[in-house]
Amino acid sequence: MSEIEHLKGVIVDYLSSLKSLVSNPKDFFGEMGPVPDYKVGLTFALPPVLVYAIAESVQKENPYLFPLYCLAAYGEIAFWMVALKYVLIPFGERRSFKETLQIAAPVSFVFSIAWIPYVGAPLAVVAAGLWTVLGLTYGFKMNSGAALTAVTLPVVVAGVLGALLSFVFIFLASLSRVFSGP
């Protein structure tokens, strides 16, 4: 088989997997086979990451930002993987990083819309949360309420920590004004 035919087969397989993920997540996550290695999982995330990085670089009119956006997107996937691994522990789910990658990598398709100005990032976050809940429910066979709680918990904790950090900065700013005089 020639390289072109092989590439066409890979593209067709990828698009059919993506179609299955979007149209029937129950079957997509429910039929997850053996845990793939990191290379397979991160390669599945590559096309949407490239779309995101190219679109953001074009919008900023700076092609040198392309590698930075690629690293940022993969960093977000890694952060979500780590957050999922540790937030699932209180729910009785002791999963490996590879198993959480099996949920986080397919959800990375939301990078395809994240670059759209003003609406892309919020839509991508909501879509990623939705598909992560579906992945946990159908892939890990979790209760849907527990899956929803597991997905929203890191968001709530980050919000609370952000608010606390804001108060610390406001307090420090007020101290500098108090000691600097009128």
pLDDT tens digit string along 56-74?
999 999 989 999 999 999 8
DSSP state of 35: P
Mean pLDDT estimate for the chain: 84
Whether 160 shows a pLDDT value over 80: the answer reads yes
Contact 47, 111 (CB under 8 A): no
Q: What is the mean pLDDT of residues 174-180?
A: 69
The pLDDT of residue 179 is: 60
The pLDDT of residue 33 is: 64
- Cα separation, 137 vs 152, in Å, equals 14
The tens digit of pLDDT for each residue in 72-106 reads 998 988 888 888 888 888 888 888 888 888 888 88
**Cβ neighbours around 108 below 10 Å, total:** 26
- Cα separation, 60 vs 45, in Å, equals 23
Measure CA 157 to chain center: 17
The pLDDT of residue 35 is: 59
Give me the helices (H) in 63-143, please: 66-87, 97-107, 111-114, 120-139
